[in-house]
Structure 1
Amino acid sequence: MVWLAAAVLFLLLCVLLNLLLPNPPPSGLRRSLQRRTARLAARLHRHPVPDPDPFDTLWLQTRLGYLAGKIRRIESAPQVYARAHRLMALEAAYDDLLDEACRLAGCPGEAEQKRSEEKRWQEEQELAARGWSW
């Protein structure tokens, strides 16, 4: 109720100020005020987030499963040409897909966080908690 009284008082003061000032404010001030009110309106107006496409989710799950299988296969094979390079490339691709899956699932976390086993494990747990499987 107090905020309503404050809003009415603010509007009343604006009307009185408009009556007392015959000229509109300078154009620079007016543009600045318009920009600020537009930014404030953009912050307050939240656009609804559309639900992710189920086919995108399915594609990501399939791709994550495929990459996880390839990683396991390379880790278990003792004599693979350029094993370390392949593992690094596959793990980087897997991490990128995990980041994308977390974005689609709405998992909290920073995408800019340094890649590590711990981050990978946390993302996998978050996705599993939301029903993802691969």
Structure 2
Amino acid sequence: MAWLAALGLFLGLCALLCLLLPNPPPSRWRSGLQRRTARLLRRLRRHPKPEPDPFDTLRLQTRLGHLAGKIRTVESAPHVYARAHRLMALEAAYDDLLDEACRLAGIPDPDAARPEDKRWQEEQELTSRGWSW
């Protein structure tokens, strides 16, 4: 590891010497050094986490509203074929969309024993953060 530090010190002194000399090094050396330095800086630079797309949020809110409307329709219709199965499938899809919305909004996963409690907590958290559907 000491040899790596010595090599870095040597290269740093060489670069400083090149800057102080009246005749700059050939452009081939400078361009190579600039390319290597730029490549090293790109590797070391941390890339910021991109902000969520507002259209993804809008799309998700629209899908939540659509599913909530379908759930209300199935619950209110007395003669729907396979009503319990449809209701379970719609509620599972709604819960998955709520989980995705919570991940997008940065809400931690609530610790609820029953799915209804978890759904209610997630809806309350999303509503408090300005979500509507």
TM-score range, shorter chain: 0.5 to 0.7
TM (norm. structure 1) is 0.61
Aligned-pair identity in percent equals: 79
**What is the TM-score normalised by the length of structure 2?**
0.61
Could you tell me how far apart the structure 2 residues matched to 1:66 and 1:115 are?
Answer: 24
Structure 1: stretches of 5+ with no match in the other structure: 1-14, 16-44
Mapped pair 1:127 → 2:133 = no
Instruction: Give the deviation of 1:108 after TM superposition.
Output: 1.5
The one-character-per-residue Cα deviations of 1:55-99 (angstroms, maximum 9, x if unpaired) are: 100000000000000000000111100000000000000000000
CA-to-partner distance for each residue in 1:25-81, whole Å, 9 max, x for gaps? xxxxxxxxxxxxxxxxxxxx9864321101100000000000000000000111100
Structure of higher CA gyration radius: 2
The corresponding residue for 1:10 is: none
User: What CA distance in whole angstroms lies between the structure 1 residues aligned with 2:67 and 2:114?
Assistant: 17
Q: Which residue of 2 aligns with 1:101?
A: 101
Once residues 81 and 56 of structure 1 are traced to their aligned partners in structure 2, the CA distance between those partners, rounded to angstroms, is 34
- Residue identity matched to 2:87: L
Shift of 1:113: 6.6
Aligned residue in 1 for 2:81: 81
* Runs of at least 5 residues in structure 2 that lack an aligned partner in the other structure: 3-44
* Root-mean-square deviation over aligned CA pairs: 2.5
Give the 3 Å change call, closer, same or farther, for CA 114–127 of structure 1 in structure 2. Answer: same
Residue 71 of structure 2: aligned partner: 71
